[in-house]
Amino acid sequence: MGHPFPIREIARQAGLSEATVDRVLNGRGGVRESTAREVHRAIADLDRQRTQVRLVGRTFMVDIVMQSPERFSTAVRAALEAELPSLHPAVVRSRFHFRETGPAEELVAVLDRIARRGSQGVLLKAPDVPEVTAAVGRLAAAGIPVVTLVTDLPVSARIGHVGSDNRAAGATAAYLMGQWLGDRPGNVLTSLSSGFFRNEEEREMGFRSTMRARHPGRTLVEIAEGQGLDATQYDLVRAALERDPEIRAVYSIGGGNIATLRAFEDAGRECAVFVAHDLDHDNTRLLREHRLSAVLHHDLRHDLREACRLVMRAHGALPPAGPTLPSAIQVVTPYNMPAPAVAG
């Protein structure tokens, strides 16, 4: 296949040997199909980052490891690649390791592989479980700084965290929910993708405590473990609606909002207020169609820029700075949508 990149660069991007890349590019066989896909993916990544690859400066290869729905990982990739030129004269190259769901052991295997292979830094969105915390410790022991993205691992050896104040975001959602529901009767469905993501747990706590203080008579109905995926989310919401005929509003903490709305429609029920997170491509469209009441948004490009700077500081390439402040929370309605909208 034609491409403008040396085998050495492709091998580094893919985390494979030059001999393996050479076999794939020249069709000599003896290579697993999954390995061949990694080579082609590396070339595609290099092509998107080609303006950054050509910059002259110190190079940092960072690995972005995320467990999240495809719509959010796509937004993270776009936000990071949009920010790369702003880090000039340093050159930040990125390798992506995305998965939507699966056991923690698979995520740990990815982190351990990075620890063995080497990296200048890891940006990590992962569940807060002991196995992942231990893997972060092994990365730190290998001299690889880890920055948590969106959801934190506070007792791990990570060097920092970037994201919004999730308790404040949940409290903001409760304030909006109470204002818009007013005195109308109805219960509120709260939806988490997983109880193992600390950011979702903190949003839920902020929402629940504020609703309890401001609207003590309002019943909250919780569903979880839909992983933000439409197929599982639909079944969870439909079952909740069948159990509780009084559900009239939704606070979506973990996504899957197209499926949630479809479950309401199929049940012949109205969703009077719907507050969600992240201006990914699904939520952007739903908001434009006035099917969501509001989306709580923070600037992912800002988060990725700060994460890269934390990695660069860990290597002494930037002077020390104070603690990273939480990203500002924006309440986005159909009438004040950012242009262009980048998820966060």
Predicted confidence (pLDDT) per residue in 106-126, tens digit: 999 999 999 999 999 999 999
Give the percent of the chain with pLDDT over 70: 94
Question: Residue 229 is encoded by which pair of tokens?
Answer: 């995926």
User: Do 65 and 111 form a contact (C-beta atoms < 8 A)?
Assistant: yes
**Per-residue pLDDT reduced to its tens digit, 220-252:** 999 998 887 888 999 999 999 999 999 999 999
Write down the pLDDT at residue 319: 82
**Complete edge-to-edge strand list for the sheet that includes strand 273-277:** 220-223, 187-191, 247-252, 273-277, 294-297, 330-332
Asked whether 278 and 72 are in contact (CB, 8 A), the reply is: yes
Question: Which carries the bigger pLDDT value, residue 98 or residue 316?
Answer: 98
For the segment 142-164, the average pLDDT, to the nearest whole number, is 96
For the chain, state the CA radius of gyration. 21
Q: Say what percent of the chain tops pLDDT 90.
A: 64
- Looking at residue 342, what is its pLDDT? 42
User: What is the rounded CA–CA span in Å between residue 82 and residue 305?
Assistant: 10
Count the alpha carbons within 13 Å of 135 in the hemisphere toward its beta carbon: 24
CB 189 within 8 A of CB 221: yes
Per residue in 13-64, pLDDT (tens digit) is: 888 888 898 888 888 878 888 888 888 888 888 877 665 444 345 788 999 9
Across 282-304, average pLDDT = 95
Q: What is the 3-state secondary structure (H, E, C) of the chain?
A: CCCCCCHHHHHHHHCCCHHHHHHHHCCCCCCCHHHHHHHHHHHHHHHHCHHHHCCCCCEEEEEEEEECCHHHHHHHHHHHHHHHHHHCCCEEEEEEEEECCCCHHHHHHHHHHHHHHCCCEEEEECCCCHHHHHHHHHHHHCCCCEEEECCCCCCCCCCEEECECHHHHHHHHHHHHHHHHCCCCCEEEEECCCCCCHHHHHHHHHHHHHHHHHCCCCCEEEECCCCCCHHHHHHHHHHHHHHCCCEEEEEECCCCHHHHHHHHHHCCCCCCEEEEECCCHHHHHHHHCCCCCEEEECCHHHHHHHHHHHHHHHCCCCCCCCCCCCECCEEECCCCCCCCCCCC
Model-level pTM?
A: 0.79
pLDDT at 3: 66
* Res 340: pLDDT: 58
Question: What's the rounded mean pLDDT across residues 68-74?
Answer: 89
Q: Is 338's pLDDT higher than 90? A: no
Backbone angles phi, psi at 335, to 5 degrees: -105, -5
Paired with 251 in beta bridges are 190, 275
- Is residue 155 pLDDT above 90, yes or no? yes
pLDDT the model gives residue 341: 43
Contact 237, 264 (CB under 8 A): yes
- For position 215, what pLDDT does the model report? 96
Rounded Cα distance between 332 and 340, Å, is: 13
